[in-house]
Structure 1
Amino acid sequence: MELRGFGDEHGRLVAGWTRTAQEVGVLSGREEYPFPADLIGSWHKDDPDIESYLYFDGETPVGYGEVWLDDEEDEVELARVIVDPDRRGRGIGAELVRALLKPAVAAGHPDIFLRVRPENAVAIRTYLGVGFVDVSQQEMDEWNAAQPVAYRWMRYAG
């Protein structure tokens, strides 16, 4: 398995991995199902602080994720992690998160965070298994104040 940079030619494929409105929301920020055709090619932000990656099994993409760099806050956030639904349940999500941690750690910031919807038990188990822990309730409440959803925020503890 190998982590590679994301190219627009894979946008339609990754968008097709969303099987619910919730998954569309995680990937694009909009909760429409199916994935809105007008977003394909533009849903991953053209922002120099966002690094988008595909996770490959040989030449087949099996996962997608982003590393959001925040120099101002001296932190990194893993975001928009999704695995091909035909490949779920095989540990690929954990492998993908471990692979995303490499560029996140290499960025040199002391903290690596992610947010997950509290009802996403599979993702939470994955993140806990990779070494993420919950932030304090006070931090969670503070960070969720400006969010459209009350996320479960986690910090990488190594």
Structure 2
Amino acid sequence: MELRPFAVADAATVARWPASAAEVALWCGSHDFPVAARVVAGWQQDPDAHGHVLVACGTLLGYGEVWCDEEEGEAELARVIVAPGARGRGIGRRLVRGLAEQALRAGYTEIFMRVHPTNTAALRCYHGAGFLPVAPALAKEWNAPQPVSYVWLRHTGT
């Protein structure tokens, strides 16, 4: 398996992975279903967002982004999703570890994620990839401007 930079040609495949509006909301906070390929491709226009795909034998298995915040000196992993047929096999954990490695190589030692509180499968995955909840006071501060009270996680370096 290889983690490689996202290519616009990957957008249509990634956009098809969510099976419902609820899954789209958990993945990227949108309420539009299905997700248009142009939306996924458009995310790459943000110079601080770096999309990646996990590929095996030419098949896309996962997608995620590393958002770099130079001002704060930290990175956030975001919009992580695994292809439906590849779920439940540790692909998400491998993808998240690869994204964290990308952030570390870019010089970020503070790496965070936010997860919808009802997304128990993602929480298990991210914990297995070395992420643990931040202090409750910090989560409360970060959730103040958010549309939902996310579970905020910090990379533990393991």
TM-score class, shorter: over 0.9
Q: Give the AA of the match of 2:145.
A: A
Runs (5+) with no aligned partner, structure 2: none
Distance 1:134 1:150 in 2: 13
Question: 1:63 is matched with which residue?
Answer: 62
Q: Is the 8 Å Cα contact of residues 15 and 40 (structure 2) preserved in structure 1?
A: yes
Deviation at 1:111, TM superposition (A): 0.5
Question: 1:132 is matched with which residue?
Answer: 131
Q: Give the AA of the match of 1:14.
A: V
Distance 1:15 1:51 in 2: 17
The number of residues matched between the two structures is: 157
Question: 1:8 is matched with which residue?
Answer: 8
Distance 1:93 1:52 in 2: 15
Shift in alpha-carbon separation, 1:128–1:61, aligned structure 2, 3 A: same
Q: Give the AA of the match of 2:31.
A: E
Task: Provide the secondary structure at the position in 1 that maps to 2:146.
Answer: coil
Question: 2:88 is matched with which residue?
Answer: 89
Shift in alpha-carbon separation, 1:36–1:127, aligned structure 2, 3 A: same
Q: Give the AA of the match of 1:101.
A: A
Q: Give the AA of the match of 1:96.
A: L
Deviation at 1:28, TM superposition (A): 4.3
Distance 1:38 1:11 in 2: 7
* Aligned-CA RMSD value: 1.5
Q: Give the AA of the match of 1:102.
A: E
Q: Give the AA of the match of 1:59.
A: G
Runs (5+) with no aligned partner, structure 1: none
Distance 2:32 2:23 in 1: 9
Question: 1:20 is matched with which residue?
Answer: 20
Identity %: 46
Distance 1:106 1:32 in 2: 34
Deviation at 1:108, TM superposition (A): 1.2
Task: Provide the secondary structure at the position in 2 that maps to 1:51.
Answer: strand
Q: Is the 8 Å Cα contact of residues 63 and 81 (structure 2) preserved in structure 1?
A: yes
Q: Give the AA of the match of 1:15.
A: A
Task: Provide the secondary structure at the position in 1 that maps to 2:45.
Answer: coil
Q: Give the AA of the match of 2:152.
A: W
Give the TM-score taking structure 2 as reference length.
0.93
Deviation at 1:40, TM superposition (A): 5.0
Distance 2:141 2:40 in 1: 32
Runs of 4+ displaced beyond 4 Å: none
Deviation at 1:149, TM superposition (A): 1.6
Question: 2:78 is matched with which residue?
Answer: 79
Deviation at 1:32, TM superposition (A): 1.9
Q: Give the AA of the match of 2:41.
A: G
Distance 1:22 1:150 in 2: 16
Deviation at 1:41, TM superposition (A): 3.1
Shift in alpha-carbon separation, 1:31–1:90, aligned structure 2, 3 A: same
Give the TM-score taking structure 1 as reference length.
0.93
